[in-house]
Amino acid sequence: MSDVLIERFESLRAREFRRLDEGGHVYLDYTGSGLYAQSQLRALEELLGHEVLGNPHSESPTSAQATEMVEAARRDVLAFFGADPDVYTVAFTANASAALKLVGEAYPFEPGSRFVLLQDNHNSVHGIRLYAEARGAEVVYLPLDAGLRMADAAIPPAGARPGLFAFPAQSNFSGVQHPLEVARAAREAGYDVVLDAAAFVPTSRLDLSSVDADFACVSFYKMFGYPTGVGALIARRDALARLRRPWFAGGTVEYVSVQNRIHQLRVGAEGFEDGTPNFLGIASVPAGLAFLRQVGIDRIHERVVGLTGRLLDVVGSVRHADGSLATEIYGPRTTGSRGGTVAFNLLDGEGRVVPYGIVERAAAAVGISLRGGCFCNPGAAEVAFGLSADQALRCFRSMPPGEFSLEGLADCLDDDVAVGALRASLGIATNDEDLDRLERFLHDFVASGSGRRDARVESVG
């Protein structure tokens, strides 16, 4: 990483994210949420202080202005992701999960269809399998290797029935970046492809002119912190037209007749935007995109790659007094084909996993924001922790609905099986001082002997 790049980002932090240092924060949860820049707040204040915006779906001046801002944001999102507006459109949603639900509930699954997905997916992708199974489709999981990368498994042909293939551009558990070329292979095998890009796009360039995804899902708060209630389904127009919505709402229809019991959905993205859109939030999206353009997504990527190498060194260097390793990293130990997300656990002097909740709370006490749990990614967690299907099933079934807890799961499992991990993730405002403080904390924690295998896990991630 060049000295010029380091200086550029240090200046950026002082100018746009000074609240971190003023509050003594070490923020290492960018995969959970990005941070907004001060310039975004100024742009939002300027917008809200001068414009009078009304509910869209009307021809009044205030409604028309809000409608134009929503459409301008739609165009800006397409441009940011290199998506040809003649080929793609954007449906605004509450977040990436809502975008994935739109695809799942409306996809024309039927007996003979296949829904194929990686083990490494967010729960919001796994949830699509319920729609597939309910309509008689086959669900096929492609396995991960020991490094939590996609194993060399052939994609089964889709056959004559509609088929959907889903994968994350970047794992929110391990930081693995799965090859985007998988999308092309899946389409050639006959599938529509849904790409979960939520963890990828904050620090890596997604160019939909060269990635064969039919649907891509993002959350803008993960990219630039604000707004927190807006995401997007970026969809090929022809793929969107193949979806069959099971519901309609205000804003999505051209007409509804009660006495005739018929309705007509709007064509394109508006047929998927239920109710009143978050027009004030959507209007603030261009300021966030402008900020990322100004900094440069490729510069952000280079910066995060460099810091990720340091983070891996920091976590991997922690040892006990006898020289034994005090950490276990889940996923790649190098910066190749991975993002700035590192999942790990601390180990006690006997090599057993220290419950992540103990470490998470100790870090919080000194101003360090880590995330603990399984990160809504059960497939990657099961592979990472070596959790056997039979043992897990026995433990899950031993806890009735409403009584599940990670503490109970830990009690049920063998002593050497983890039930969660710690996750440190890097972003635009991370600097070396943040990693210095993390390093001191990890070494001090291990040296103090604070971790106990028999301690209770109180938080569920």
Is pLDDT above 50 for 457?
A: no
Q: Which of 374, 376, 395, 412 is catalytic?
A: 376
Q: For position 120, which CATH number holds?
A: 3.40.640.10
The pLDDT score that the predictor gives to residue 415 is 66
Is there a single domain that holds both residue 353 and residue 414? yes
303, two tokens:
């910066």
**Whether residues 288 and 300 fall in one domain:** no
The lowest-confidence range among 14-23, 347-356, 393-402, 417-426 is 393-402
**Contact 420/372 with Cβ under 8 angstroms?**
yes
217 annotated active-site: no
pLDDT at site 459: 40
Q: Is residue 453 part of a domain?
A: no
pLDDT band at 3 (very low <50, low <70, confident <90, very high): confident
Residue of 92, 452, 49, 97 whose CA lies nearest to 286: 92
Same domain, 357 and 247: no
Q: Is 247 exposed, middle or buried (0-12, 13-18, 19+ CB in 10 A)?
A: exposed
pLDDT at residue 153, as a whole number: 80
C-alpha 446: how far from chain center? 30
pLDDT digits (tens, 9 = 90+) for 211-231: 999 999 999 999 999 999 999
**Within this chain, do residues 248 and 139 fall inside the same structural domain, yes or no?**
yes
Helix H segments across 189-260?
220-224, 237-242
| 269, 294, 319 - which closes a domain | 294
Residue matched to tokens 């001082």: 433
pLDDT at 451: 60
To 10 degrees, the CA torsion angle through 285, 291, 296, 301? -70
Pairing of strands 215-219, 138-142: unpaired
How far, CA to CA in Å, does 359 sit from each of 126, 370, 372? Answer: 29, 9, 9
Helix 297-316 and helix 432-448, axial crossing angle in degrees, nearest 10: 20
Q: Which two tokens stand for residue 14?
A: 């002082």
89-143 residue pLDDT tens: 999 999 999 999 999 999 999 999 999 999 999 999 999 999 999 999 999 999 9
User: Is pLDDT above 50 for 458?
Assistant: no
Q: Is the pLDDT of residue 404 over 90?
A: no
282 and 320 fall within a common domain: no
Q: What is the mean pLDDT of residues 432-438?
A: 98
Cα–Cα distance measured from residue 76 to residue 91, given in angstroms and rounded to the nearest whole number = 13
Could you list the residue range(s) of the whole structural domain that residue 428 is in?
A: 3-30+296-448
Q: How confident is residue 152, by pLDDT bands cut at 50, 70 and 90?
A: confident
pLDDT at 439 exceeding the cut of 70: yes
